Amino acid sequence: MRPLHALIDTQALRHNYRLACQAAPHSRALAVLKANAYGHGALECARALSDLAPAFGVASIEEAQALREGGIEQPIVLLEGFFEADELEWIAAQGVTCVIHSEWQLEALASAQVTQPIAVWLKCDSGMHRLGFVPDEVPDVWKRLGDMTAVGERVLMTHFATADQQESALFGHQLATVERLRQALGQPPVCWANSPATLSHPAAHGDWVRPGIMLYGADPLPRANDLSTELQPVMTLESRLIAVRELGAGEPIGYGSRYVTEQPVRVGVVACGYGDGYDRHAIDGTPVLVEGARTCVVGRVSMDMLIVDITELPEADVGARVTLWGRGPNGAILPVNEVAACCDTISYTLLTGVTARVPRRMLSST
């Protein structure tokens, strides 16, 4: 068998979830499990959190259905709402909560014949300009929803565009806008905060927070704070050396000969490549752990393999364990953020990008 797998540490997931609760002690924390729980396995993560999290967030009824079929009974919030009016029957029957962001959805709800009222989260576009009603429309939409027989509990929500920035005028503007609406609507339950706002903006906590990336152990803040330093990596992407080569000075390595050795080196070939989701943009010097010791990628990542420098690790041989990110065999940690920075991307894309051919192995949550 190919030695590459993604180990999923559900204890770390639970730890990170508890950290979100600690950061926002007066809020309930909806665990965002969309995109297969950011690549970690949605059903397994939902099960691991099922005694802690009062609700889960997903992106589609397909994702919600997989959780319901797996026995998850908590409220599930469809973060983009429904895509077709005929989804409403299933949504109502399954007790799934729906974000409402557009007029066409309001009209569909107004004429829906459903077996039980649907809980809705009304999305206000307070400045991100992705989904939602503009602030001036919100009071009227809120009332229309309140008058509909197909609608049950209502929550007001928004999404921040810049909660992960140190100083952001837009963040202040968005928060002030939705707080004004909250007052005007008579203090309904609200949900504003993603991970960075959960960790660093108590004023934005509201009744619910919606952490995603922090649950998986990646720090969403540009400069770590006390809580974010306690996050633990949930996914460890791990493989082994499948070949070792000794090369003299002046030898090219990999496609395009991007890397040329300056002196004699020992390199190891790792069974992991962009076909597994390891980013092809990884530069020479991107960190990896070999048996827990830091070294780095040399040469361009190929589809199924990449090459690492093991000149300083004479013990490393075929079969040595390689940690692409996460926790190494001796407890050393390689944060996915560090790898992402060397690929000119963010942890979100690396984690969600781990492909289906990489087996996920769950470490027990008990």
Which residues in the 126-185 window bind ligand PLP by CB under 6 A? Answer: 159
Does position 220 bind ligand PLP by CB under 6 A?
yes
DSSP assigned state of 189? -
* Known catalytic membership, residue 123: no
Site string for ligand PLP, 93-132 (x = CB under 6 A): ----------------------------------------
- Is residue 210 marked as binding? no
* Known catalytic membership, residue 216: no
98 vs 75: CA distance, rounded Å: 10
Nearer to ligand PLP, 217 or 277 (CB): 217
Does position 195 bind ligand PLP by CB under 6 A?
yes
- Of 10-18, 112-120, 208-216, 275-283, the segment contacting ligand PLP by CB under 6 A is 208-216
Residue burial 278-308, b: 16+ Cβ < 10 Å; e: rest: bbeebbbebbbbbbbbebbbbbbbbebbbbb
30, 55 contact by CB (below 8 A): yes
Cα atoms in the Cβ-side hemisphere of radius 13 Å centred on 6: 26
Does position 210 bind ligand PLP by CB under 6 A?
yes
Catalytic hit among 34, 123, 278, 348: 34
CB-based contacts of 129: which residues, under 8 Å, 6+ apart? Answer: none
Catalytic hit among 17, 38, 216, 255: 255
Nearer to ligand PLP, 210 or 327 (CB): 210
Instruction: Please work out, in degrees rounded to the nearest 5, the angle formed at the alpha carbon of residue 69 by the alpha carbons of 112 and 75.
Output: 55
Residue 246: count of CB within 10 angstroms of its CB? 10
**Which residues of the chain form contacts with ligand PLP (CB under 6 A)?**
32, 79, 159, 194-195, 210-214, 220
Which residues contribute to the annotated binding site for substrate?
130, 303
Name the residues annotated as catalytic.
34, 255
